[in-house]
Amino acid sequence: MNHDEALELIKRILTDVVPGADLAALSPDENFRIALEMDSLDFLNFVEALSGRTGLALPETDYPALNTLNSCADYVSSRTPTA
């Protein structure tokens, strides 16, 4: 999965987890947990959905890499095979 594919997947998951989220107003390097007012349960739901859709194990120690669209897409794309 490349960066752009990962980014689109992340946006779809965020839309599922935070209905009505305005992702167009979100900067790629902005902390989306803060911008979308995600509580810890919302973020856990996001992580579980991301893990389920990518097949990646997402240890809690890696959560800081999952806070912005760009860093999350970089994380996912670097750990998933390209088709």
pLDDT digit string (tens) for the chain, length 83 residues: 999 999 999 999 999 999 988 999 999 999 999 999 999 999 999 999 999 999 999 999 999 999 999 999 999 999 987 75
Task: Provide the 10 A C-beta neighbour count for residue 54.
Answer: 19
8 Å CB contact between 31 and 39: no
Write 33-40 long-range contacts (CB < 8 A, 24+): 33/67
CATH class for the region spanning 3-18+29-79: mainly alpha
Task: Provide the 10 A C-beta neighbour count for residue 39.
Answer: 9
Mean pLDDT of the chain: 94
> What is the pTM for the complete model shown?
0.92
Taken in order 21, 2, 49, 28, the sign of the CA dihedral is: negative
* pLDDT > 70 in the chain, percent: 98
Residue 83: its pLDDT value, please? 57
